[in-house]
Structure 1
C-alpha cells in the first residue's frame, strides 16, 4: 500500500505529538513532585522545549495536504 501525502503528514505529526506529550507529562510529574530544579528538571524542560519546537517547526514549514491528497491508494 502506498502512503499518501496525508498519511505521511499524519504519521510524522503523530510521532511529534507523542514525543511532545511524553515530555510535557514528564515535566508535569516533576512539578507535582515539587522538583523544579536540578539535573532532572533541566533535562525534562529541555526535552519539552525541543519537542515543542520540533512540532511548531513541522507545522510552520509543511505544506498542508489538501482534500484531494488522501485519495491515492484508497
Structure 2
C-alpha cells in the first residue's frame, strides 16, 4: 500500500510534467508556431502528460 507521501510525490511529478508540456505548447502559440514537427512534438508531449495524469487519478483505491 502506497503512503500519502508516495501519492503526493507521484502526483507532483506528473503535474510538473503536465505543466511543462502545456507551457511549451503555449510558448509555441505565442510565437505563432502552431503547425509542423515542433508543434506535433509539443502536442504529443502534452497529450501523453495528460494521459499519465488522468490514469494516475483514476487508479482504483488501495485497500
Same fold (TM over 0.5): yes
Structure 2: tracts of 5 or more residues without a match: none
**What is the deviation of 1:20?**
0.2
Moved over 2 A (4+): none
RMSD over equivalenced CA pairs, Å: 1.4
Greater relative CO, 1 or 2 (CA 8 Å, sep 6+):
1
Residue number among 36, 41, 44 corresponding to 2:42 in the alignment: 44
Q: Scaled by the length of structure 2, what TM-score is found?
A: 0.91
Structure 1: tracts of 5 or more residues without a match: 65-74
Separation in structure 2 between the aligned mates of residue 50 and residue 6 of structure 1, nearest angstrom? 25
**What is the deviation of 1:47?**
0.2
Aligned residues: 61
Larger Rg: 1
